[in-house]
Amino acid sequence: MNEPASAQKGGLYSALRFTGIPPSWLEKRPKLPSRNWLIFIGVVTSIAGLYVDDRRKCKKIREEYTAKVRHLAEETLGTQDWPRKVTVYSCRYPEDHDHERSMVYFKRYVKPMLVAAAIDYDIINGNQYGALTGKVSDDIKKRRRELAGLQKSHEEELNSFIPLPGDRTPAGKARRQLEGGTVIIGRHSLKEYLEGVSRGWSGSAKVVDQEEAFAETLSDDVFDDPLGPPPTQESRTPPGGSLLPPPELSRGSANGLFGPIRQAPPPPPPKMPTFHMSDDPPATLPPQSPIGLVPFTNHLGFLQVPYMIYDFFTERHRVLAGCKAGYAIAMGQTRPMTKKDLDFDIQSEGFIKGSWNKLPKRIKESKESYYKDLTKDVKIARELAYGEREPTRAERSHPPKTEVELRTQRLKKELKWKEDLEGWEVLRGDVCWDERFEGVLSVFVDPQEHGHSF
Amino acid sequence: MSPGGVDHEKIEGAVIELDMMTDVFNRMVATCASKCLSQRYAEGDLTKGESVCIDRCVGKFIEANKVIGEKLRESGGGLNPGGI
């Protein structure tokens, strides 16, 4: 029985059969795992393989593109010169609670190229809708005032104290800014940026206190006091029996003895000398720095989770887009901006959440609920101020807001709602195109592709 | 021209502060040079990559020094004056 069996088993059996290894082990044959195991292993391996392959390709793409620009970083720089500096504009994406996502996108996909090309960058991020428009237009108006000689630039004032090395004249600074370039992340930032440029070069360049101007437009009906001012003097007597109309009647009718009280306005801006040249907006704009456009689509919300999963496995597309944009910016080849460029990244608009269109309704609703609570709070504040009743225990531990605080809070909230609405209007519409932009704006192009627009 | 006693302390304080500043400066130069500058070079000028790197390194160093100085001042009560 054993003789024919050992003849079948062959070399391995006869070599190892006396080593103490259980003989059943020497008779084993290779066997596939069960069907379920095969399915599991197949699925996990293919998903992991997709991920690993994608990240490897990303690394290759990054290395390839950074190698293309490395020669820029190896040029020499004199001790009195500055390196090239670009300004990066990003702003809050519509319906995104995170206002820095565009900035993070820039840092992940475009910044490595700028670092490899030894280009310095300055990031200006708009934290709310419309904030970038405001910043850009304010900067341009400041520039207009400096050009008109009405306001000394920061550098001039420093230079007058201590002369520092390097070309720090405003002309030199403007030239460096012009040659540096602008980077814009996403279609929403482009809208806000062009709107800001258009607004900055329109209208007057005078300093205007937005808050003051806005505060004038607010109605003070909510703070109407039918009973008169609180007894700030010693006497606690109610201020004249004739001034006591029943509260429920006079809300909104008479002006109230308070009248529109505002909190102390911020210190007025330093008085400007009268304009000796015209304050009218110029008919043609000075040449603007070339713009590098970086496409950015943000997937938000539960319904876009499939897109997010797809994006997780196709990071190489975004790396390639970011590297191409960074390469175009680094090489510095430009072409004039045309109206066709206003369709930049238009496919990203299809992915904006539907609730974006309902923003004004949401603001209206929050306004209504706020004003409802406000009348109650004003009543409580007045009651405590007049001394009509003692504060309850809860109120003693957490003193409710006084009237002045309520007014400032209301002003702040109204200002924020107004800015949100304005930003929404800018972002909802098309990219702004001023006639004066023709021939003044330019776009960075990829030298290899001879300028293909997005 | 001025009384000797008070000035002596001030001078010592100033010397200590100068020492601290020089120390910080030397440390900064050593750190940023080791991080940013390569050992092989063809000409005397810095390359753009090195300049940008040094700009950023110095900026970060000074920022970190400021933050640490403030924290020490809060907790330690400012035993050591100085720091940038």
Residue A220 lies in a domain: no
Residue A216 confidence (pLDDT) above 90 = no
- Which residue intervals of A74-110 are DSSP H helices? 101-109
Instruction: Evaluate whether residue A379 is within a structural domain.
Output: no
pLDDT at A211 over 60: yes
Q: What's the confidence (pLDDT) of residue A33?
A: 92
Q: Taking CB atoms and an 8 Å limit, are A77 and B43 in contact across chains?
A: no
Short-list A122, A135, A132, A125, CA closest to A173 = A122
Over 90: is that where the pLDDT of A69 sits?
yes
The token duo for A87 is 């300004």
Overall average pLDDT of the A63-85 stretch:
90
pLDDT digits (tens, 9 = 90+) for B16-61: 999 999 999 999 999 999 999 988 888 888 889 999 999 999 999 9
User: In CATH, what number is assigned to the domain containing residue B77?
Assistant: 1.10.287.810
Structure tokens at A436: 């004066």
Is residue A121 within 8 Å of residue A87, measured between CB atoms?
yes
Q: How many domains does chain A have?
A: 1
Answer whether A3 touches B (CB < 8 Å).
no
pLDDT band, residue A393 (cuts 50/70/90)? confident
Contact status, residue A447 vs residue A324, Cβ threshold 8 Å = no
pLDDT band at A4 (very low <50, low <70, confident <90, very high): low
Q: Which amino acid is at A406?
A: L
Q: By CB neighbour count within 10 A (0-12 exposed, 13-18 middle, 19+ buried), where does A105 fall?
A: buried
Indicate yes or no: CB of B46 within 8 angstroms of CB of A83. no
Structural domain contains residue B73: yes
Å between B32 CA and nearest CA of chain A: 16
Q: Is the pLDDT of residue A306 over 60?
A: yes
Nearest CA in chain B to A69: B49
Which residue would you say has higher pLDDT here, A107 or A261?
Answer: A107
- Cα separation, A88 vs A289, in Å, equals 12
- Mean residue pLDDT of chain A comes to 83
Q: For residue A298, give both structure tokens.
A: 């943000």
Report the range of poorest mean pLDDT among A67-81, A109-123, A281-295, A384-398: A384-398
Q: Do A76 and B55 touch (CB under 8 A)?
A: no
CB contact under 8 A, B49 and A120: no
Residue B3 lies inside a defined structural domain of this protein: no
In this predicted model, which residue has the larger pLDDT, B28 or A263? B28
Interface test with A, best of B52, B54, B57 (most A CBs within 10 A): B52
More confidently predicted of A116 and A397: A116
Q: Is residue A258 part of a domain?
A: no
Which amino acid, residue A120? Answer: D
A371-376: average pLDDT: 90
When divided into structural domains, chain B yields a total of 1
CB contact under 8 A, A75 and B46: no
Interface test with B, best of A69, A77, A179 (most B CBs within 10 A): A77
> What is the pLDDT, as a whole number, of residue B26?
96
Residue A95 inside a domain? The answer is: yes
Range of the domain at A184: 47-214+277-352+429-444
Q: Tell whether B2 is covered by a domain.
A: no
Which tokens sit at A161? 């104290």
Residue A363 lies in a domain: no
A 10 A CB-CB count for B28 gives: 18
Indicate which of B37, B45, B51 best probes the interface with A, i.e. most A CBs within 10 Å of its own CB. Answer: B51
- Could you tell me if residue A435 is inside a domain? yes
Instruction: Kindly identify which residue of chain B lies nearest to residue A122, measuring between CA atoms.
Output: B56
Residue B79 has pLDDT above 80, yes or no: no
Q: Which of B47, B56, B57, B60 to mutate to test the interface with A (most CBs of A within 10 A)?
A: B47
Q: Which of A420, A415, A414 is nearest to A371 (CA)?
A: A414
- The answer to whether residue A403 is domain-embedded is no
How close, in Å, is residue A78 to chain B by CA atoms?
A: 6
The 10s digit of each residue's pLDDT in A200-209 is: 998 888 888 8
Domain extent, residue B48, equals 8-83
> Angle, nearest 10°, between helix axes A403-428 and A186-200?
110
Q: Does A73 contact chain B (CB < 8 Å)? A: yes
Question: Average pLDDT for residues A410-424, to the nearest whole number?
Answer: 92
Question: Which of left, alpha, beta for A421 (phi over 0: left; psi -120 to 50: alpha)?
Answer: alpha
pLDDT tier, A55 (very low <50, low <70, confident <90, very high otherwise): very high
- The distance of A76 to chain B (nearest Cα, Å) reads 4
- A307: pLDDT confidence band, cut at 50, 70 and 90? very high
Q: Cα(A247)–Cα(A383) distance, rounded to whole angstroms?
A: 12
A217-261 pLDDT per residue, tens? 877 777 776 665 555 543 444 444 333 344 444 444 444 444 444
Q: Which residues contact A8 (CB under 8 A, 6 or more apart)?
A: none
> Do the chains contact at A73 and B55, CB–CB below 8 Å?
no
Q: Is residue A195 part of a domain?
A: yes
- A172-203 pLDDT, tens per residue? 888 888 999 999 999 999 999 999 999 999 88
Which pLDDT belongs to residue B39?
85
Q: Name the 3-class secondary structure at A73.
A: helix
* Whole-number pLDDT of residue A150: 75
Residue A123 has pLDDT above 90, yes or no: yes
3-state secondary structure chain B: CCCHHHHHHHHHHHHHHHHHHHHHHHHHHHHHHHHHCCCCCCCCCEEHHHHHHHHHHHHHHHHHHHHHHHHHHHHHCCCCCCCC
CA distances (Å), A432 to each of A47, A196, A234, in order? 44, 9, 60
Q: Pick from A38-47, A199-208, A354-363 the range whose average pLDDT is largest.
A: A38-47
Give the residue on B whose Cα is nearest the Cα of A114. Answer: B49
- pLDDT at residue B21 in the model: 93
Q: What percent of chain A has pLDDT over 70?
A: 85
